[in-house]
Amino acid sequence: MLPSSAQARTASDAMAVEQFAADVRYYLSQSPPQLPSHYFYDALGSALFEAICHLPWYGITRAESRLLAAHGDEVFRRLDSLSTVVELGPGSGLKMRLLLDAAGPKPRPLTVHLVDVSQSALEIAAHTVGSGGDVRVTTHRATYDAGLREAAVQAGGRTLVAFLGSNIGNFDPPGAAAFLHNVRVALSPGDGLLLGVDLVKPEPALRLAYDDPLGVTAAFNRNLLVRINRELGGDFDLDQYEHRAVWDADRSRVEMHLVARSAQHVHIPRADVDLRLAPGDPIWTESSYKYRTGDVAALLQACGFRLSAQWIDRQDGFALTLAEAA
Q: Which residues bind to ligand AVI, rule: CB under 6 A?
A: 52, 60, 165-167, 169-170, 210, 217, 286, 288
User: Cα-atom radius of gyration of the chain, to the nearest Å?
Assistant: 20
Q: Is 314 exposed, middle or buried (0-12, 13-18, 19+ CB in 10 A)?
A: exposed
Nearer to ligand AVI, 99 or 152 (CB): 99
Least Cβ distance, residue 326 to ligand AVI (angstroms): 26
The answer to whether the CB of 290 falls within 8 A of the CB of 266 is no
The answer to whether the CB of 160 falls within 8 A of the CB of 151 is no
Nearer to ligand AVI, 76 or 220 (CB): 220
The answer to whether the CB of 225 falls within 8 A of the CB of 241 is yes
Least Cβ distance, residue 209 to ligand AVI (angstroms): 7
Least Cβ distance, residue 11 to ligand AVI (angstroms): 28
Least Cβ distance, residue 167 to ligand AVI (angstroms): 5
Identify the CA nearest to 193 among candidates 204, 185, 202.
185
Least Cβ distance, residue 124 to ligand AVI (angstroms): 16
Q: How far apart are the C-alpha atoms of 88 and 236, rounded to whole Å? A: 32
Tell me the residue number closest to ligand AVI, measured at CB: 288
Nearer to ligand AVI, 65 or 166 (CB): 166
Nearer to ligand AVI, 68 or 152 (CB): 68
Residue 3's alpha-carbon distances to 6, 10, 316, in angstroms, are: 5, 11, 48
Q: Name the helix (H) or strand (E) containing 296.
A: helix 293-302
Q: Is the peptide bond before 204 cis (omega within 30 degrees of 0)?
A: no
Nearer to ligand AVI, 20 or 58 (CB): 58
Tell me the β-bridge partners of 275: 266
Sign of CA pseudo-dihedral 115, 120, 121, 125 = positive
Least Cβ distance, residue 71 to ligand AVI (angstroms): 20
Nearer to ligand AVI, 50 or 73 (CB): 50
